[in-house]
Amino acid sequence: RSGYDLCRELKEDPATRLIPVVMITGLSDRSDRIRGIEAGADDFLSKPLYPEELYARVKSLLKLKHFTDELENAEAVLFTLALGVEARDPFTGDHCSRLAHYAGDLGRHLHFDYENVVALERGGYLHDLGKIKVPDEILKKGSQLTSAEWEIMKQHPATGEAICQPLKSFRKVLPIIRHHHEHWNGTGYPDGLDGHNIPVLARVLQVVDVFDALITARPYKPALSHMHAKDTMLREAKRGLWDYELVREFFGMLESKRRAA
């Protein structure tokens, strides 16, 4: 295989895609450089090679890699916090990992690009991060919340967005975090957005979030079967709560997976 192929394989693998790649070649044609860039090369040097130039380029790329690693560490801290929030709620189990799985699958089913699918998977883990500021007596309450408690709970999307705001790598995740509790008819929170004004990634996560909540038992309700959950969500979508077409697409995807199993 060629150096282009190796570079492309490295950049397509999530485990190695951040490793800096410098391509060195005796070819000087412009099309060869373009081919190297398209393969994902971080830099491109032509022969004859001067060691001091290679050293300077590698040093620069390693510095960039260091900054990238620091960014990944910051992201890892937020994911850990999100899982910590989930662990505080005795009723949710592995809710976040299930949402990440469902949301990523639905994004791929809808032919979303790689960045949007990754944003959905991240949103599955981070959507309720803002609950870190919700007191345990509210978060763990096994009965209906009072009006005052509900007002506190409703602050968690904006809180989660504010926590993740400094990380530019989360720019596609922020609308998911903020808007996953909006309603198609504008009765949701925090901004009362309606219809297509609700970002599509938030609408996707909302569908899978509602589904997982319905099929999961809580102290105040039993778990619904998939069929009952489908009927409930389609009925609620017709009432204006959810994006009806996305609900149909989601259950169509689940049915396709069931038939293929």
Point out the residues that are catalytic.
Answer: 131
d(CA 253, CA 205): 15
- 160 Cβ contact list (under 8 Å, min separation 6): 126, 127, 128, 129, 130, 131, 177, 178
Distance of CA 244 to the CA centre of its chain: 22
Strand, coil or helix: 22? strand
Please state the φ and ψ torsions of residue 194, each to the nearest 5 degrees: -135, 160
Q: Residue by residue, what is the 3-state secondary structure of 161-175?
A: HHHHCCCHHHCCCHH
Bond prior to 175 in cis (omega within 30° of 0):
no
3-state secondary structure of 44: strand
CA 127 to chain centre: 9
**Which residues lie across from 24 on neighbouring strands?**
45
CA–CA gap between residue 146 and residue 153 (Å, rounded): 10
